[in-house]
Amino acid sequence: MAIAASVDTRPFEHHVLDFLAYLEFERGLSRNTLEAYRTDLLQFGAFLDRTGVQATEATHQDLARFLAALASGDGERPPAAHATLQRKTACLRSFYRHLRREQVMEHDPTADLRSPRASQKLPQVLSRDEVARLLSAPKGTDPAALRDRAMLELMYACGLRASEATGLEVRDIDLRHGVLRTRGKGSKERLVPVGREAITAVRTWLDRGRPVLVGVEEESHLFVNRRGTGLTRQGLYKIVQRHARAVGLDQKMSPHTLRHTFATHLLAGGCDLRAVQEMLGHADIATTQMYTHLSADRLRDVYFSAHPRASAR
């Protein structure tokens, strides 16, 4: 008799919660990864509802159509980035392996599932002048302006992810020695040098801005909101977008723009690829090598604009 001969009638949400509990308690995945997987599965569930398919009856074609729809985008959402599609594909594979392991399904519809072909579009980066405009956008000496200036300076100085910037604690930065400790993907720690401008901005924030917002409360996070509690990633995105919009850069900004710019500017300035890999916290140097193409494009632009015989006048 087949193990899963009867149709599983439990709702999709039950399987999602069971899967996430398995990832948290048995696999020990980080809270950020769990939240990303939960979002991915809820999005997949909404797609199944629209197409009238049960998760336990989904086929390879159903899953491929879901990923293809994300890759192409629609009128409300732009096409998903390749890294996002890869994560969603990995999430679906892991989810259906779990259903098989729990004997909910006999077959695995993700056995031959592949994420759509990678886009060749390189991430946007800011020029040096554009970075200067963005970093000078927070005006005034009120606590929020001091925080925003320090946060933008630090993200550009250290190539921080949004989650890394919001996760920083006061103890993670050594202003005297100019070094910062951050925890990246998989809670892997790394040390990153901090430049002079960022040190000055952070010191000003710690001396004159943060105490006003935190007051007498105990709060470990380096960057806090107006209530004196840790800043969220959503809050950080809004801050970055607000200042980018103020200087006409909102069309070029994404959560990762300052990180991309950090890596590109270092490589264009002659920094060793392995050193940039260490500072970014990339497990595979192939990920870092993407920025060598960006640097080559930047150098090409400089060449054609500056060399007197590079192009027709």
Which residues are tagged catalytic?
A: 161, 185, 256, 259, 282, 291
Query: d(Cα 135, Cα 300) in Å, to the nearest integer?
Result: 25
Do the bridges between strand 179-183 and strand 189-193 make them parallel or antiparallel, or are there none, so unpaired? antiparallel
Neighbours of 157 (CB within 10 A): 23
H or E segment and range at residue 210? helix 210-214
CA–CA gap between residue 242 and residue 261 (Å, rounded)? 19
- Cα(216)–Cα(188) distance, integer angstroms: 32
Instruction: Identify the CA nearest to 163 among candidates 265, 81, 281, 48.
Output: 281
**At a CB cut-off of 8 Å and minimum separation 6, what does 251 contact?**
none
Instruction: State how far the Cα of 219 lies from the Cα of 215, in Å rounded to an integer.
Output: 9
Question: How far is it, in rounded angstroms, from Cα 142 to Cα 137?
Answer: 14
Task: Count other Cβ atoms within 10 Å, centred on residue 7.
Answer: 8
CB atoms within 10 A of CB 242: 13
Half-sphere exposure of 204 (CA within 13 A, CB side): 20
190 membership: H or E segment, kind and range: strand 189-193
Instruction: List, in sequence order, every residue forming a beta bridge with 192; answer none if it has no partner.
Output: 180
Q: Mention every residue, 6+ apart, whose C-beta is less than 8 A from residue 211.
A: none
